[in-house]
Amino acid sequence: MVRVEDCFLKLGPKTKFYCEKFYAPPKSRIALWGPSGCGKSTLLNLISGLLRPDRGKIVVNGIEITSMSESKLDQFRGENIGFIFQTFNLLPPFTALQNVVLGMRFSDTIPSSEWKKNAKNLLNYVGLGNRLNNKPSQLSVGEQQRVAIARAVANKQKLIVADEPTGSLDPKTANSVMDLLLKLCEEQNLTLLLVTHDKGIAERLPQIYDCSNLVNEEVEV
Amino acid sequence: MTLWGIAWGYLWNRKFTTFLTILSVALAVALISSVLTLREETRKRFEEEGQAFDLVVGAKGSPLQLVLSSVYFMDNPTGNIPWTVYEQIKNDKEYVQSAYPIALGDNFQGFRIVGTDASLFEHKWISPISGEERHPFKLKEGKIFDKPFEAVLGALVARETGLNIGDTFISSHGFIKLPEMLGGHDHEQHPYTVVGIFDYSNSPFDRAIFTSVNSVWDIHGEHHEEKHEENQDSKEESDIKYEEWGKDPHSMITAVLVQLQSPALRFQYREMIRESTVAMSATPVEEISKLFEQFLGTAKTVLLAVGYLVVIISALSIMIGLYLAIIQRRRDLAIMRALGASRIEIFGSVLIEAFWVTALGILAGYFLGGIISHIVGYYLSQKYGLSITSFILTSEHITSFATVAVVGLLAGIIPAWQAYKRNIARDLMEL
């Protein structure tokens, strides 16, 4: 599903990111774990095409994204990768339903006539069928994360990238969000790459990838 | 959900700022729109009324003053001309279709008393603007005067004075009601009796009181004789007033309104008047056009310049507003990019916000301008009997609105470009 090889990115005058090899097979669920600033989010951003490496190869869903044009990459991202961020996941002016619809708006995967119906089904699935018309400010942080989870799979994406999705939640809510995410991945055979610095959260996933050594000042170009 | 909807969502999310920005655009557009509307409508109405007569013949002086005083009842007359001039013109059937005497001198509550011939009320003409026949002298009630000191009121006079058929009123000397210490005096010996009221014609005639020329002559002849008898010490003053009406008061009038056999004869007949009489003539339409092109043209330019200056200030407020909004919601833009939105779509959504603000500002400004025009139009109709249409859309309006739209969109380009080139990975990691 995801393959990263010999990937190098200069982050600052002396700071460099280097990943020799990372592989995530289809349906795998991997925690990218490490301390703050170790490069785990950078790896996730490279995999999702939000950052471009200076050198190396990244293949997602069988397609090498490093050589893609910007517009193709935008389209690829919309169709293949679902995002969940730590916080402020949702667009404030729009309701929960509209935020999920927005997940389908920028790609051609789902016909526009089905956007609303699909979004309602997904929100029902994450337990927010009664909060369709609530704006993010009217939802708790946990509910906002649930909406983000629904949006991340709105285009039937097979790869979910989650950057500290429980970082802003209390332990109980964090567990329920993790339960939902893992259940969804299990039921829909999704690949999950989840960035966390929390060992407890990382250990809930079948695989942990240690990112401790991705960023340093010693790497030779 | 379209980009239009997304842009609208963000504008709605900051309603107050959006409202203020739209308001600033609207005020600028209202100023521009009302200036264009009022100028165009007053020009049309003045020209339409000006077309009522081919020429005005009166005492030598300013042609514009002659036209304003005798056709629009707005200015003081240039002086008086002998009655014989009127007779000469009226009998010149080769050139003249109809001619009507106008004798001014008095007012009632500020409304001018116009001595004329009853044949004026048969006068009709084709409006070059609407193409319809204009006949402003339709009686609403009563009859036309046929005896001395009978008067027919214009519709506005009747409404504002409350006079009805059978009522009497005392006229005052001059064109405005003056206190006695400033020379104002009433002609108490000769009250007028209202015998008729005209229907509304949306013309200056609505603000006039019509009577026979004889009535005006009688009042002034007798009145000034009385003044001589009552106050020998003010002989000089009385003589001046007497001269105002000529040595023989029965021989002087203020002007002659002339309808020629053809408008093509205007220039030729003006020359003939100049050569064969002591009077001068003026073409109402030409004088009004000059007025609008020269004096009012400059006023229009100044007001439009102010309007466009406000447009530029509004454009700056659109730009600053959007720029700050982009900085505030950089994470939202990054999320949209993560969801698959292209740079062009982000650019477009910001530009659409500028479009919404500008378009709504133009729309609101057009209606606000219409309201302003309506209020000013009401004043004009009360003051001069000119009714104007408040909501018009001329090519000048469309050009100015298009200019505002382009300026508004240009104001959106810089913030849209800022949004276009943002680093999404950095924006996502910042918060």
Token readout for A6 is 């010999």
Q: How far is residue B408's CA from residue B317's CA, in Å, rounded to a whole number?
A: 10
Strands A207-210 and A2-10: what pairing? unpaired
The C-alpha angle B170, B102, B139, rounded to 5 degrees, equals 70
Are the beta carbons of B9 and A98 separated by less than 8 Å? yes
Q: How far is residue A102's CA from residue A85's CA, in Å, rounded to a whole number?
A: 16
Per-residue pLDDT at B177 = 61
Alpha-carbon separation of residue A78 from A41, B10, B173 (angstroms): 19, 22, 86
**Residue A34 pLDDT class (50, 70, 90 cuts):** confident
Using an 8 Å CB-CB cutoff, list chain B residues near A74: 337, 340-343
Cα of A81 to nearest chain B Cα, Å: 8
Q: How far is residue A53's CA from residue A44's CA, in Å, rounded to a whole number?
A: 12
B330 touches chain A (CB under 8 A): no
Mutation target for A interface from B328, B339, B344, B345: give the one with most A CBs within 10 A.
B339
Are the beta carbons of A78 and B345 separated by less than 8 Å? no
Domain ranges of chain A: 2-216
Strands B208-212 and B150-153: what pairing? antiparallel
For residue A102, give the chain B residue with the closest CA: B1
For residue A44, give the chain B residue with the closest CA: B425
Using an 8 Å CB-CB cutoff, list chain A residues near B10: 93
For residue B330, give the chain A residue with the closest CA: A91
Cα of B10 to nearest chain A Cα, Å: 6
Residues 95-114 of A with CB under 8 A from B: 98, 101-103, 105-107
Are the beta carbons of A45 and B343 separated by less than 8 Å? no
Q: How far is CA A134 from the centre of its chain?
A: 24
Cα of B12 to nearest chain A Cα, Å: 8
Q: How far is residue B149's CA from residue B190's CA, in Å, rounded to a whole number?
A: 7
* pLDDT-flagged residues of chain B (< 70): 175-188, 221-251, 430-431
Please say whether the beta carbons of B340 and B54 come within 8 A.
Answer: no
Residues 7-26 of B with CB under 8 A from A: 9-10, 12-13
User: Identity (one letter) of the amino acid at A125?
Assistant: Y
Cα of A172 to nearest chain B Cα, Å: 23
Residue B281 dihedral angles phi and psi, to the nearest 5°: -130, 160
Q: How far is residue B302's CA from residue B13's CA, in Å, rounded to a whole number?
A: 38
Per-residue pLDDT at B287 = 86
Question: What is the value of pTM for the model shown?
Answer: 0.74
Q: How far is residue B210's CA from residue A116's CA, in Å, rounded to a whole number?
A: 74
Q: How far is residue A105's CA from residue B403's CA, in Å, rounded to a whole number?
A: 33
Are the beta carbons of A93 and B335 separated by less than 8 Å? no
**Residue A182 pLDDT class (50, 70, 90 cuts):** very high
B422 touches chain A (CB under 8 A): no
Selecting from B9, B344, B428 the residue whose C-beta is nearest the C-beta of A93 gives: B9
Q: How far is residue B321's CA from residue B361's CA, in Å, rounded to a whole number?
A: 15
**Residue A213 pLDDT class (50, 70, 90 cuts):** confident
Under DSSP, the state recorded for B248 is S
A37 touches chain B (CB under 8 A): no
B44 touches chain A (CB under 8 A): no
The C-alpha angle B276, B278, B279, rounded to 5 degrees, equals 100
Q: Which CATH superfamily is domain A2-216 in?
A: P-loop containing nucleotide triphosphate hydrolases (3.40.50.300)
* Helix or strand run (H / E) with residue B96: strand B96-108
Are the beta carbons of A83 and B335 separated by less than 8 Å? yes
**What mean pLDDT is predicted for residues A49-53?**
89
User: Identity (one letter) of the amino acid at B146?
Assistant: D
Residue entry with tokens 């002087």: B252
Using an 8 Å CB-CB cutoff, list chain A residues near B338: 48, 50, 77, 83
Using an 8 Å CB-CB cutoff, list chain B residues near A87: 431
Cα of A56 to nearest chain B Cα, Å: 19
B301 touches chain A (CB under 8 A): no
pLDDT tens profile A194-212: 998 888 889 999 999 988 8
Q: Tell me the count of A-B CB pairs closer than 8 A.
A: 74
Are the beta carbons of B1 and A105 separated by less than 8 Å? yes
Token readout for B326 is 């982009």
Cα of B427 to nearest chain A Cα, Å: 11
B428 touches chain A (CB under 8 A): yes
ipTM of the complex: 0.87
B182 touches chain A (CB under 8 A): no
Mutation target for B interface from A38, A51, A74: give the one with most B CBs within 10 A.
A74
Using an 8 Å CB-CB cutoff, list chain B residues near A85: 335, 428
Cα of B129 to nearest chain A Cα, Å: 51
DSSP string, chain A: -EEEEEEEEE-SSS-EEEEEEEEE-TT-EEEEE-STTSSHHHHHHHHTTSS--SEEEEEETTEE-TT--HHHHHHHHHHHEEEE-SS--S-TTS-HHHHHHHHHHTSSSS-GGGHHHHHHHHHHHTT-TT-TT--GGGS-HHHHHHHHHHHHTTT--SEEEEESTTTTS-HHHHHHHHHHHHHHHHHHT-EEEEEES-HHHHTTSSEEEE-TTSEES----
Per-residue pLDDT at B239 = 38
Using an 8 Å CB-CB cutoff, list chain A residues near B337: 50, 74
pLDDT tens profile A68-126: 888 888 888 888 999 998 877 799 999 999 999 988 988 888 898 999 999 999 999 88
